[in-house]
Chains A and B, each alone.
Chain A
Amino acid sequence: MNLKTTLCAAGALALVATAGANAATTVTIATVNNGDMIRMQGLTEDFTSSNPDITLEWVTLEENVLRQRVTQDIAAKGGQFDVLTIGTYEVPIWGNNGWLVSLNDLPAEWDADDLLPAIRSGLTVEGDLYAAPFYGESSMVMYRTDLMAKAGLEMPDAPTWDFIKQAAAAMTDRDNEMYGICLRGKAGWGENMAFLTATSNSFGARWFDENWKPQFDSEAWANTLNFYMDLMTSYGPPGASTNGFNENLSLFQQGKCGMWIDATVAASFVTNPKDSTVADSVGFALAPDNGLGKRGNWLWAWSLAVPAGSDATDAAKKFIAWATSKEYTALVASKEGWANVPPGTRTSLYENPAYLEAAPFAEMTLNSINAANPKQPTVDPVPYTGVQFVAIPEFAGLATQVGQEFSAALAGQQSVEQALEKAQALTADEMEAAGY
């Protein structure tokens, strides 16, 4: 072999290598730090081994940071991400803005009809599915079965708010740091306002009437907030105005809460004997109601979407189809057991006897999700969608301000009337400025 031939061969090899390198598509995935998402990262070899031309890169951030980063990147057309992890609040807004790619063309075997109707409708805008749900959640009552028995009470599957108050009173023993009920009090649209907005639905309240007029001056809102304040100040833990999901989870796991109404995803935490001291004495019930036809539970789905600026749309869709498929669920079950599969997205999961046996909270989770209707969240008609939020861009900032007023009332810094007056005034101002 002479020098010329050797050089030609080396050149050809280099070309082949370069072509191979160019053919590889990198998909950058922006995601949040929670158990299900982290588990998915650990299982991606299953995807990359059958798609060797696709490389996955992960950016994991705390959800509020992620929301801000992704919004900024989409608005500025930075194109840094190919797959976004977003919630049911963002999807309708971003879908309407043309920021997301429609996922209507995912393969037939992905089986869109298997998605839970409530979850699917929350991710669909005018017939286009803009995000594929990875896991869904609602909220429900988690309670201590031993304390309930000790109090001589029995939790119904679908309790009323009056029963919750009665049970909280019976279980509270402040001298022994036992509090009848733990609820969110920390200010924030995804913190206390997620809980209070969902609760207000069951009291017949709403954020806006059909003409986008704020409704915090209504009797229904006064009833909602007075009930919440009474419940928390009489039977809640001290310092509740700074408690969010994690603080209440910590209290419940240490056996200091009789009841906790929060995200269904908490069920797997409080029943895990490794972390929870009360794992073997936890029961579940639907979020309470007041007999008005709406329960105080919310609806949320962490979902995967493709931003309109992505240069790897096909590869991103391929990844999403894998991560949200029935096959992925089966993969998790085979590796980590049925109790660890991402819940709340597919009907087939709740028809699977193996899952129903492994997850004692499965039925209650499904019933909670089905009890929420994001298209008709309130007793009276409203011009918006969303159960614990109003799917308009202004809501996040607005609800955080309102949440601060309500949190200040819980901290005893102002009365309920003052908090509602301020909420009404600031909401009216913001909505007028936004042109509603």
Chain B
Amino acid sequence: MARAVKNKQKIINTVAAWGIGLLIFFPVLWTILTSFKTEAQAIADPPVFLFFDWTLENYAIVQERSDYMRYLWNSVIIAGVSTLVGIVVAVPAAWSMAFVPSKRTKDVLLWMLSTKMLPAVGVLYPIYLIFIQLGLLDTRTGLVIVMMLINLPIIVWMLYTYFREIPGEILEAARMDGASLRDEILYVLTPMAVPGIASTILLNFILAWNEAFWTLNLTAAKAGPLTAFIASYSSPEGLFYAKLSAASTMAIAPILILGWFSQKQLVRGLTFGAVK
């Protein structure tokens, strides 16, 4: 009897999880489907779901009009380098907060997080003027710096949470065996926190990949990543939904594939320490 109830509960949970998953994924699926429609089919009422004349025309037009590889390369560089630099800065910071806390540690953590509460547009002009002065407008270097800084609070917080789950005694034992601070972080702490660090890298890579405010405001013709590529297909006067969907699909495809292959690592990292 108990087994039957358990099975029933499991089925309900599975159906609910699939339902929620599909609901979340539906806009992405609809974008992908629309990218294979004609412009007329894209706006058809009632909407057509699967039974339409599939076409690659929109992809051909987008390929012809835009230098996709340039945007893709910019996205890879900006998201990748900003995440890696962020990790290099955040690991020692999170280590000190997790293992050598002071009475101000929590305040510092909250202060760091509070920088995310300011609307980005509030600091647009100062940053724009600084970028002009430093010659960083429309450069990948400038965007790497900005992306790294805006994501740093999240990286530090995530790593801090993971590091807190690692028993301090292990690090203490390493110190007693003569490990230096560098060795302790590199050879003891980091290998133990690999799932946490990996999921932090993945999550921040995704955040930097999808960031659209700074990438649109600080770039022009050279350093624009895939967000700028998508924006170039938006139009309030003319129905270009199918082409916009094709551009969006091309922009999200790399990150979708990356997420698909690393989903185990991502889930393990995100649930790391959640259940004691």
A residues lining the B interface (CB < 8 Å) = 28, 30, 32-35, 38, 41-42, 57-65, 69, 72, 76-81, 190, 244-246, 249-250, 253-254, 256, 263, 265, 269, 274-277
Which secondary structure characterizes the binding site on chain B? loop
List residues of chain B with CB within 8 A of the CB of A33.
232-235, 238, 240
Chain-A contact segment, one of B40-48, B100-108, B147-155: B40-48
Report the nearest B residue to A68, measured CB to CB.
B217
Asked if B137 and A41 sit within 8 Å, CB to CB, the answer is no
Complex Cα gap A251–B91 (Å): 55
Question: What is the minimal beta-carbon distance from B52 to any residue of chain A, in angstroms?
Answer: 15
Complex Cα gap A60–B224 (Å): 11
In the complex, besides A33-B238, A81-B220, A246-B238, 14 extra interface pairs with C-beta distance below 8 angstroms are A30-B220, A34-B235, A60-B231, A62-B235, A69-B216, A72-B124, A72-B125, A78-B137, A80-B137, A80-B138, A244-B236, A245-B237, A250-B239, A274-B40
Report the nearest A residue to B65, measured CB to CB.
A38
List residues of chain B with CB within 8 A of the CB of A41.
65
Bits for B35-79, please: 1 = Cβ < 8 Å to A, else 0.
000111001110000000000000000000100000000000000
Complex Cα gap A65–B215 (Å): 12
Complex Cα gap A244–B238 (Å): 11
List residues of chain A with CB within 8 A of the CB of B222.
57
Asked if B128 and A275 sit within 8 Å, CB to CB, the answer is no
Given A254-B45, A275-B40; A34-B220 close (CB under 8 Å): no
- For the complex, is B15 an interface residue (Cβ under 8 Å from A)? no
Question: What is the minimal beta-carbon distance from B124 to any residue of chain A, in angstroms?
Answer: 7
- Please provide the 6 A-B residue pairs with the shortest distance between their CB atoms, ordered closest to farther: A57-B221, A60-B232, A62-B234, A33-B235, A80-B220, A250-B43
Given A72-B124, A78-B137; A61-B236 close (CB under 8 Å): no
- For the complex, is B132 an interface residue (Cβ under 8 Å from A)? yes
Asked if A263 and B239 sit within 8 Å, CB to CB, the answer is no
List residues of chain B with CB within 8 A of the CB of A244.
236
- For the complex, is B84 an interface residue (Cβ under 8 Å from A)? no
Which secondary structure characterizes the binding site on chain A? mixed
Complex Cα gap A33–B234 (Å): 7
List residues of chain A with CB within 8 A of the CB of B125.
72, 76
Asked if A63 and B236 sit within 8 Å, CB to CB, the answer is yes
Q: List 23 A-B contacts (CB under 8 A).
A: A28-B220, A33-B232, A33-B238, A33-B240, A35-B238, A57-B221, A59-B224, A63-B235, A63-B237, A65-B234, A69-B217, A76-B132, A78-B128, A80-B220, A81-B220, A244-B236, A250-B45, A253-B40, A254-B43, A256-B45, A265-B237, A274-B40, A275-B239
Query: In residues 90-144 of chain B, which contact A (Cβ within 8 Å)?
Result: 124-125, 128-129, 132, 137-138
- Most B CB contacts (10 A, CB to CB) among A33, A69, A265, A276 go to A33
Report the nearest A residue to B125, measured CB to CB.
A76
Complex Cα gap A298–B193 (Å): 64
Given A80-B138, A253-B40, A253-B43; A32-B235 close (CB under 8 Å): yes
Question: What is the minimal beta-carbon distance from B70 to any residue of chain A, in angstroms?
Answer: 11
List residues of chain B with CB within 8 A of the CB of A256.
45
List residues of chain B with CB within 8 A of the CB of A57.
220-222
Question: What is the minimal beta-carbon distance from B182 to any residue of chain A, in angstroms?
Answer: 42
B residues lining the A interface (CB < 8 Å) = 38-40, 43-45, 65, 124-125, 128-129, 132, 137-138, 216-217, 220-222, 224, 228, 231-240
Complex Cα gap A89–B50 (Å): 44
Which of A59, A61, A77 sits near B132, CB closer than 8 Å? A77
Which of B124, B216, B231, B239 sits near A246, CB closer than 8 Å? B239
Complex Cα gap A58–B224 (Å): 11
Complex Cα gap A103–B138 (Å): 28
Report the nearest B residue to A276, measured CB to CB.
B40
Which of B38, B138, B221, B234 sits near A58, CB closer than 8 Å? B221
Question: What is the minimal beta-carbon distance from A355 to any residue of chain B, in angstroms?
Answer: 21
Complex Cα gap A69–B220 (Å): 9
Asked if B221 and A263 sit within 8 Å, CB to CB, the answer is no
Question: What is the minimal beta-carbon distance from A93 to any residue of chain B, in angstroms?
Answer: 20
Report the nearest B residue to A300, measured CB to CB.
B237
Given A28-B220, A57-B221, A250-B43; A78-B237 close (CB under 8 Å): no
Complex Cα gap A198–B239 (Å): 24
Complex Cα gap A42–B64 (Å): 9
Complex Cα gap A190–B40 (Å): 25
